[in-house]
């Protein structure tokens, strides 16, 4: 019969892991889930043998770094399972380390005694002894990058990329959160959301969402929980995704309240951006549309959509348009 005791699983609380976090929460009722300093911790006092075997195997398969800590219980020693995929110049690490009752790493005393008991009088012998002690320590303790270090590296990488984009464009950035679905923060709590999958709507849809209206004013008098991706409250969503929770709200509000066939019957204001020309490429099967350059700039469409600039006769419906250069976009 299995034994059940406390364990904690930690991963990075970064935005790109959001679907994985939802899967973890849906698959198991953890007793506690909290986020601190960019690390998300799932804990449970009834983990089988102090492990989350199914979840750990899935994380390894996906290449997601994690720490799992198990309590000392009865005849079981405390353990720390470390997984780090090959990243940031480090080789892959997948190993369990023994822990004391105080959750400190345990070094094999007999092996250490054997090393220290050997004579070491010359400089060469002392160096060899030191290297053996260091090797033993590395075998007993984790000396690789901590999760917090990985969070800092990823965050810094994102910041650097963001700074380069801002310098290049000089304005807020579109983020593609789903296939041809973009979100951009215009100002605090106010987001532009763009559904550019033309095949889905026969037009590109764009809407501005002020998240504060849903939080403070209860706009449309709807249950806000449907936008929270399974979280019990806005506070919980904010704690899990401290830097992107408002963007997540805006994204889900647009998807559920604006960009569905049902919602399009409502009187909620959004812009429809029609194409001058629609065609399906016979070679790759992709749908492409042409939009005049003036319209492309007027609606501030994501540069990622731009495939080619074509000079041709413009059939644009926009009043006053005099620009006969068109932008060709892949929209499927």
User: In which band, very low, low, confident or very high, does the pLDDT at 17 lie, cut at 50, 70 and 90?
Assistant: low
- As a whole number of angstroms, the distance between CA 297 and CA 309 comes to 13
The SS3 assignment for 312 reads coil
pLDDT single digits (tens) 82-97: 998 876 567 788 888 8
Residue 163 lies in a domain: no
The per-residue pLDDT for 295 is 78
Residue 61 lies in a domain: yes
Residue 261 lies in a domain: yes
Sheet-wide strand order for 287-292: 277-280, 287-292, 325-330, 306-311
Based on the fold, state whether residues 186 and 97 are members of the same structural domain.
no
Based on the fold, state whether residues 187 and 230 are members of the same structural domain.
yes
Based on the fold, state whether residues 202 and 226 are members of the same structural domain.
yes
User: In which band, very low, low, confident or very high, does the pLDDT at 217 lie, cut at 50, 70 and 90?
Assistant: very low
Q: Which domain holds residue 311?
A: 277-330
| Comparison of pLDDT for 136 and 159, the residue scoring more | 136
| Comparison of pLDDT for 109 and 81, the residue scoring more | 81
- As a whole number of angstroms, the distance between CA 210 and CA 188 comes to 9
The per-residue pLDDT for 167 is 35
Based on the fold, state whether residues 260 and 288 are members of the same structural domain.
no
Q: For residues 194 and 205, is the Cβ–Cβ distance under 8 A? A: yes
Based on the fold, state whether residues 250 and 301 are members of the same structural domain.
no
User: In which band, very low, low, confident or very high, does the pLDDT at 9 lie, cut at 50, 70 and 90?
Assistant: very high
Based on the fold, state whether residues 196 and 218 are members of the same structural domain.
yes
Helices (H), 274-327: 293-298
Q: Which of 53, 74, 105 is the last residue of a domain?
A: 105
Residue 66 lies in a domain: yes
Based on the fold, state whether residues 261 and 187 are members of the same structural domain.
yes
The per-residue pLDDT for 157 is 45
Question: What is the CB neighbour count within 10 angstroms for residue 241?
Answer: 23
Average pLDDT of span 206-233: 69
Q: Which of 58, 79, 105 is the last residue of a domain?
A: 105
Residue 154 lies in a domain: no
Based on the fold, state whether residues 250 and 288 are members of the same structural domain.
no
Q: For residues 33 and 42, is the Cβ–Cβ distance under 8 A? A: yes
Residue 71 lies in a domain: yes
Residue 145 lies in a domain: no
Q: Distance between terminal CA atoms of the chain?
A: 53
Q: Which of 105, 123, 154 is the last residue of a domain?
A: 105
The per-residue pLDDT for 186 is 86
Element (H, E) at 213: helix 211-215
Domain count within the chain: 3
User: In which band, very low, low, confident or very high, does the pLDDT at 312 lie, cut at 50, 70 and 90?
Assistant: low
Residue 303 above 70 pLDDT? Answer: yes
Residue 24 token pair: 């973890």
Residue 55 lies in a domain: yes
């Amino acid at each position: 019969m299995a034994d059940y005791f406390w364990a904690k699983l930690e991963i990075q609380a970064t935005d790109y892991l959001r679907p994985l976090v939802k899967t973890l929460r849906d698959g198991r009722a953890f007793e506690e889930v909290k986020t601190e300093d960019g690390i998300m911790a799932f804990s449970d006092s009834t983990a089988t043998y102090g492990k989350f075997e199914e979840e750990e195997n899935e994380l390894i398969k996906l290449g997601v770094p994690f720490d799992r800590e198990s309590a000392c219980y009865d005849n079981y020693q405390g353990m720390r399972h470390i997984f780090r995929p090959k990243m940031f110049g480090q080789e892959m690490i997948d190993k369990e380390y023994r822990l004391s009752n105080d959750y400190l790493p345990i070094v094999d005393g007999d092996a250490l005694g054997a090393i220290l008991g050997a004579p070491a009088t010359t400089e060469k012998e002392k160096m060899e002894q030191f290297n053996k002690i260091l090797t033993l320590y590395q075998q007993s303790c984790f000396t690789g990058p901590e999760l917090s270090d990985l969070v800092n590296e990823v965050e810094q990488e994102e910041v650097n990329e963001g700074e380069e984009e801002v310098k290049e464009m000089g304005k807020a950035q579109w983020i593609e959160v789903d296939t041809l679905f973009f979100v951009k923060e215009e100002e605090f709590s106010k987001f532009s959301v763009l559904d550019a999958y033309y095949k889905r709507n026969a037009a590109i849809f764009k809407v501005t969402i002020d998240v504060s209206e849903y939080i403070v004013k209860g706009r449309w008098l709807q249950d806000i929980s449907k936008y929270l991706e399974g979280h019990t409250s806005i506070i919980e969503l904010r704690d899990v995704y401290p830097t992107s929770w408002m963007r997540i709200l805006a994204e889900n509000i647009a998807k559920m309240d604006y960009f569905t066939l049902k919602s399009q019957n409502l009187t909620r204001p959004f812009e429809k951006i029609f194409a001058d020309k629609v065609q399906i490429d016979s070679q790759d099967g992709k749908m492409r549309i042409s939009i005049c350059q003036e319209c492309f700039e007027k609606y501030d469409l994501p540069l990622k959509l731009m495939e080619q600039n074509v000079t041709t006769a413009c059939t644009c419906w926009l009043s006053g348009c005099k620009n006969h250069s068109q932008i060709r976009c892949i929209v499927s």
